[in-house]
């Protein structure tokens, strides 16, 4: 499960370009949308097979990184989290992709970093 941040966790410095995403209400809205989209994906065998076939991303990975689908808007929903050397739960926004993963139609929250490039499946380069 995803743990919602507490107001005390909303720490940033004055140079942080993502600080506008750190309001408690914004995080509540982002978290609810992310959870809903992730749960929708995890209930859809068709979308899970598509995710595995097109991007090599398994159900376990999708659940862990909270990838989801918005069936009403017909798009993949990929959350972008604040970079941290520890587990981060501050959502900076979302990257949206059409169901065919085409880059035409790729959009994201204004100012949010890209998300999908960070979660492509790991493929070892040599066998041991």
The answer, as to whether pTM is greater than 0.95, is no
Q: Tell me what pLDDT residue 7 has.
A: 45
CA distance 128 to 125: 10
Q: Tell me what pLDDT residue 26 has.
A: 83
Per-residue pLDDT tens digits of the chain, which is 128 residues long: 555 544 445 555 554 555 556 677 888 899 999 999 999 999 999 999 999 999 889 999 999 889 999 999 999 999 988 776 666 677 888 989 999 988 888 888 877 766 554 554 445 555 55
Give the SS3 label for residue 30.
Answer: helix
Q: Tell me what pLDDT residue 25 has.
A: 82
CB neighbourhood size of 80 (10 A) = 22
**Tokens 């995803």 map to which residue?**
2
CA distance 8 to 43: 34
Q: What is the dihedral of CA 91, 97, 98, 100, to 10 degrees?
A: -120
């Amino acid at each position: 499960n995803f743990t919602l941040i507490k107001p005390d966790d909303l720490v940033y410095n004055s140079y942080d370009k993502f600080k506008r995403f750190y309001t408690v209400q914004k995080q509540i809205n982002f978290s609810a949308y992310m959870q809903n989209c992730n749960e929708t994906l995890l209930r859809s065998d068709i979308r899970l097979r598509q995710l595995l076939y097109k991007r090599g991303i398994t159900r376990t990975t999708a659940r862990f990184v909270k990838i989801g689908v918005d069936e009403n808007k017909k798009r993949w929903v990929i959350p972008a989290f604040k970079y941290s050397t520890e587990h981060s739960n501050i959502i900076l926004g979302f990257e949206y992709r059409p169901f065919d993963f085409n880059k035409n139609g790729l959009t994201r929250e204004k100012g949010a970093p890209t998300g999908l490039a960070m979660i492509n499946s790991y493929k070892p380069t040599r066998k041991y």
